[in-house]
Amino acid sequence: MRAQLLTEHGGHDKLKLSEVARPTPSSGQVLVRIYATAVNPVDIKIREGLPIAPPLPAILGADLAGVVEAVGEGVTTFSVGDEVYGCAGGVKGHGGALAEYIAADARLLAPKPKTLSFREAAALPLVSITARDALDRLEIEAGDRVLIHGGTGGVGHIAIQLAKAAGAWVVATVGSDDNAAIARQLGADEVVNYRTEAVGDYVKRLTNGEGFEAIFDTAGGPNLANSFEAAAVEGKIATINARTTADLGLMHSKALSLTAVFMLLPMLRGIGRERHGDILRAIGSDVDAGRLRPLLDDHRFTLETAGEAQELLSSGKARGKVVIDID
C-alpha cells in the first residue's frame, strides 16, 4: 500500500511517500481502507519528535474514516463493508492514518455518521472525543455559564455545539471578527475578542463580575491564568494544555477545580479504549440528529500532498479542520 513514511523527526519534508506492506489485523483489530484523515496539532508535534511518537520509520496520523475490509479474531462489533470512523493511530503501538490501510483496535472505532461524507467524518474523532471528555469532567448542567477559550479551533468549535446541546449559556473567545461570526453560527450566545477585551472587562460585562461556572481552556499554557481570573467561585476548569508553570494563588482563593484532558492516553496505555468508541457512537447520533457539524477548511489535499496539509495547519491560516483525501 501507499503511505507517508516518517524516516526522521523534523519538518513536513521528512514525510516520504512510500510503498509499504499492507497490515494484517490481529486479534481485536479490523483492517480499514482509509478514505480520509484529518490533521491535528499533535500529529505535527509527533512528527517533530514528541516522546509519544512511534519508532521510526513510522506512519503518522490519528483520525480516519473508511470501510472495514477484514476483521480480526474476536471482533463482533464490525463486519466487512461497514463504514467507520475513529481516532486510532499515529502513536506508539499503533499504525497511522496517512496510508491507504490501517489495522485498528475495534474499540476505538464507531459507525460513521450516516449524514456525513468520509471527508467530513474524518474531521471529528480526536476533537470530538476531547471536547466530550472535557465537558463531562466539567459536569455542565442546563443554564450554566460556560466559557470556551479558542471557540473556533478544532476542539473549541465542537465544544460550543456540545455545550449548547446540554443547555448551557456559552461564551466563546476568538481572535478576529471573522471567527466571531463563525462562533455565533455554531451557537455561541456571546463572543469575546481576546485581542481587544481584557478578562476582567468581559467577566463584568457578561456575568456582572461573578465569573463562569465552567471553563474549557483549549489554549491552556499561559492562558490558564485568564481562566483562573474568569472563573466563578468554586468554578471548574478543564484544559488540554497543562504544560506550564503557573501561580495557583487565584485558583486557591476561589477554590477552583482544574482537570487536564489527555485524549490520547487510552491509546497509549490500553485502558479505557471502549469509552472512545462509545463517545463516537453518541457523536454520530448528535450529527445525524442535526445537533453537531464539523467545520472544514476549504483546501483539498491528497496523500501525496499530506505534508502541505500539515504546513497549512502549522501556518495558523486554516479555517476549520484540515482534511486529507486518501482515495
Average pLDDT over residues 236-255: 94
For the four alpha carbons of 280, 283, 289 and 292, in that order, the dihedral sign comes to negative
Measure the CA–CA gap between 112 and 284, rounded to whole angstroms.
7
Whether the CB-CB separation of 5 and 18 falls below 8 Å is answered with: yes
Residues 6+ apart with CB under 8 A from 78: 30, 68, 71, 84, 106, 109
Strands (DSSP E) contained in 20-133 are: 29-39, 58-59, 63-71, 83-87, 101-105, 109-111
CATH no. for 2-124+264-325:
3.90.180.10
Whether the CB-CB separation of 75 and 104 falls below 8 Å is answered with: no
Measure the CA–CA gap between 275 and 281, rounded to whole angstroms.
10
To 10 degrees, the CA torsion angle through 306, 156, 252, 263?
Answer: -50
Whether the CB-CB separation of 32 and 121 falls below 8 Å is answered with: no
Grid coordinates standing for 274? Answer: 471502549
Arch. (CATH architecture) of 127-260: 3-Layer(aba) Sandwich (3.40)
What pLDDT, on the 0 to 100 scale, is given for residue 154? 95
Can you give the residue ranges of every domain in the chain? 2-124+264-325, 127-260
Q: Beta strand 231-239 with 212-217: parallel, antiparallel or unpaired?
A: parallel
What pLDDT, on the 0 to 100 scale, is given for residue 243? 87
What pLDDT, on the 0 to 100 scale, is given for residue 40? 97
Burial-class residue 314 by CB neighbours within 10 Å (0-12, 13-18, 19+): middle
| CA-based radius of gyration for the chain | 20
Give the largest CA-CA distance in the chain: 61
pLDDT at 327 over 90: no
pLDDT at 195 over 90: yes
pLDDT in tens, 19-47: 999 999 999 999 999 999 999 999 999 99
What pLDDT, on the 0 to 100 scale, is given for residue 291? 95
pLDDT in tens, 79-93: 999 999 999 999 999
Which has the minimum average pLDDT: 194-198, 241-245, 265-269, 303-307?
A: 241-245
Measure the CA–CA gap between 86 and 89, rounded to whole angstroms.
9
Q: Is 201 helix (H, G, I), strand (E, B) or coil?
A: helix
What pLDDT, on the 0 to 100 scale, is given for residue 34? 98
pLDDT in tens, 259-268: 999 999 999 9
Average pLDDT over residues 187-211: 97
Provide the mean pLDDT of the chain: 96
Measure the CA–CA gap between 63 and 86, rounded to whole angstroms.
6
Q: How confident is the model at residue 74 (pLDDT cuts 50, 70, 90)?
A: very high
